[in-house]
A = this chain, B = another copy of it.
Amino acid sequence: ELVVTQGFPCPHMQSIASSALRRVVLSASKRSNPLTSSTRRVVNRSIITRSAASMRAIAASVPLSGDAQVSYEALTSRLKKLSSLNDIEGIITWDELVMMPEGASEARGAQKAALAELVHLQATSAAMGEAISAAESAGAAEGCPWRRAVIRDARRDYNDAVRLPAELKAKEAELGAKGYAAWVKARKNDDWASFAPVLEELVALRKEMAAACADPGVSAYDYLLDKFERGMTEERLTEIFGELRTKLVPVIAKILAAKPLAHPPALESGTFAEDAQEAFCKHVSAAMGFDFGTGRLDRSVHPFTGGAGPHDVRITTRYDDSVFMDAVMGTVHEVGHALYEQGLNKEQDGLPVQRALSMGIHESQSLFWERYIGQSQEFWKAMLPEFHANFPETKDVSADDLYRFINKAKAGFIRVDADELTYSMHVVLRFELERALFGGKISVAELPDLWREKMRELLGVVPETDTLGVLQDVHWSDGSFGYFPSYTLGAMYACQFHAKAREEIDGFDELVAAGKFTPIRDWLRDKIHNVGSLYPSADELCEAVTGAPLDPSIYVEHLNKKYSALYGVAE
């Protein structure tokens, strides 16, 4: 998970977005869909067809001078200070979750509120607005896509921030807290009826915010989606998730009907000392190329990646001596997030273009490592000696045993417990409900029944309680509608990046099997990390990296091939 340190008011949000992404999460303005707006695509082609390295060459080749230079420097100076304040928020949030004594929580709340108020004042100041306008009219964006992206995002962030009326901002904070409290209680008591009215208020609030903040003609749901996934729209998502649903449901049904895999008792019911787990996780982190000179690995109740990247990236994990794989895969996942943060372009320190592009792209980096490296046979070949050394009781366990153990597939009710094969269906379900809700096709009251119906359609199981159904996720409790799609978009981007990386990196699988991850990390760094928010949408980044926008069929094909082989059924 990633830590968001500002944005939506609910505490749970602290565990679902990175501080680098916070600004993405906060952003409110809506641009036209790059995949349906041909004019925009043409403009952006000039960016897309150039690699990050050649773009840096361009930046160097057309230096600024005169008014343009003066105005650009005045703007970036302001932006860097704002970024430093956001970094501070990242550090004190990490501290709160990892170090802070319990008795300080109220004081910490006051500290964060005071800082957020100042950040907001700076971000919405007339001086900031004037600095952006000056850079725009002096032509500071000309001749360099990096500068162009800096000014583009400064404008975007500024417009987002100034458009939100203070009373809606206050209402958001109030309702977020109220919704979270109501949800905790409702989930505990399996009492949907007590939560439904607050959820209705939250939907109404988000609609009101969209009406106030979105660009003309942008729907409320598109406005919300864009906060998490820049450039994404309901139309494009319907296309992507429609194809995913159509093609993946039969694959899932086929696999779930097959005979379950058997596993060695040493894996299923062994005990794994926490210290040995920690040693193993540190070994894996270092092998993946996590830089401890600009990062930390600590323990916390909920694993997350936070801090103030790229110079100070902090990941956490937790250890349970009965389920070693959670800590290992959790660490691999967080290191994936952390490598993205550590790999951000240091030449653009503190500027908007340096930031991670979207929640989906951030998740693509964690899932690239978790799903396509950590869950591969090759990875466990590489790690087997270290694994045996740390857990001597597993000496008879093979890399293939580990591979099969870590890739079990099973239909379940709970999204966060879902495996690779079935996870995306939980997301498709939520997307379809959110889209219908914001499109006025269904009411809040219909959600529990529709939830059960869709679970039956997608995974063939029906939860007996709302706690296991519509009440399971924290996200809606503070109105984070539009967030869920990022998880599965991330998985699909990761899959498409992985396929491309295997094409472009010589001996990819052999490198993984040898535990030599540096060329892989460096490929991601060059293609994705270093590029930050240069592209205005993940689809455009995906096209720059892989030659095509997101294609769900690549993902379905991967799952079909992998799980058919694992479960011994025909593709």
- A residues sitting closer than 8 Å to B (CB atoms) are 80-82, 84-85, 87-88, 91-92, 95, 99-104, 106-108, 110-111, 113-115, 117-118, 122, 291-296, 308, 311-312, 349-350
Contact = CB atoms under 8 A, between A and B. Distances in A.
Q: Which of A82, A101, A110 has the most CB of B within 10 A?
A: A101
Contacts of A92: 88, 91-92
A99 B296 CA distance: 8
A525 to B, nearest CB: 16
Contact of A104 (B81, B102, B312): B312
How many identical chains are in the complex?
Answer: 2
Top 9 A-B residue pairs of the complex, sorted by shortest distance between their CB atoms: A104-B312, A103-B294, A84-B114, A107-B311, A81-B114, A84-B111, A104-B311, A103-B293, A84-B110
Contacts of A111: 84-85, 87-88, 91, 308
Contacts of A308: 104, 107, 111
Given A110-B80, A295-B101, A312-B104, A91 B87 contact: no
Nearest to A111: B84
Given A85-B118, A91-B95, A99-B296, 18 more contacts: A81-B114, A84-B107, A84-B113, A85-B111, A85-B114, A85-B115, A87-B107, A88-B115, A92-B92, A101-B311, A102-B293, A103-B291, A103-B294, A103-B312, A107-B308, A107-B312, A108-B312, A110-B350
Nearest to A105: B311
A271 to B, nearest CB: 25
23 contacts: A80-B110, A84-B110, A84-B115, A85-B118, A87-B107, A87-B111, A88-B111, A88-B114, A88-B115, A91-B92, A91-B95, A95-B95, A100-B312, A101-B294, A101-B312, A103-B291, A103-B293, A103-B311, A104-B312, A107-B311, A108-B312, A110-B350, A118-B118
Q: Which of A84, A122, A349 has the most CB of B within 10 A?
A: A84
Contacts of A291: 103
Nearest to A80: B110
A296 B81 contact: no
Nearest to A294: B103
Interface class of chain A by DSSP: helix
Contacts of A108: 312
Contacts of A293: 101-103
Q: Which of A99, A113, A293, A308 has the most CB of B within 10 A?
A: A99
Nearest to A81: B114
A343 to B, nearest CB: 13
A308 B112 CA distance: 13
A292 B101 contact: yes
Given A84-B111, A84-B114, A91-B92, A99 B101 contact: no
Contacts of A350: 110
Nearest to A108: B312
A126 to B, nearest CB: 15
Contacts of A84: 107, 110-111, 113-115
A122 B291 CA distance: 37
A19 to B, nearest CB: 12
A293 B122 CA distance: 35
Nearest to A107: B311
Contact of A106 (B82, B103, B296, B311): B311
Contacts of A95: 91, 95, 99
Contacts of A122: 118
Q: Which of A114, A117, A308 has the most CB of B within 10 A?
A: A114
A296 to B, nearest CB: 6
A293 B107 CA distance: 13
Nearest to A90: B111
A121 to B, nearest CB: 9
Contacts of A312: 100-101, 103-104, 107-108
A102 B292 CA distance: 9
Nearest to A350: B110
A231 to B, nearest CB: 29
Nearest to A115: B88
Contacts of A294: 101, 103-104
A308 B109 CA distance: 13
A329 to B, nearest CB: 24
A80 B114 CA distance: 9
A569 B106 CA distance: 56
Nearest to A82: B114
Contacts of A85: 111, 114-115, 118
A202 to B, nearest CB: 28
Contacts of A102: 293
Contacts of A114: 80-82, 84-85, 88
Nearest to A89: B88
A296 B103 CA distance: 11
A80 to B, nearest CB: 7
Contacts of A117: 81
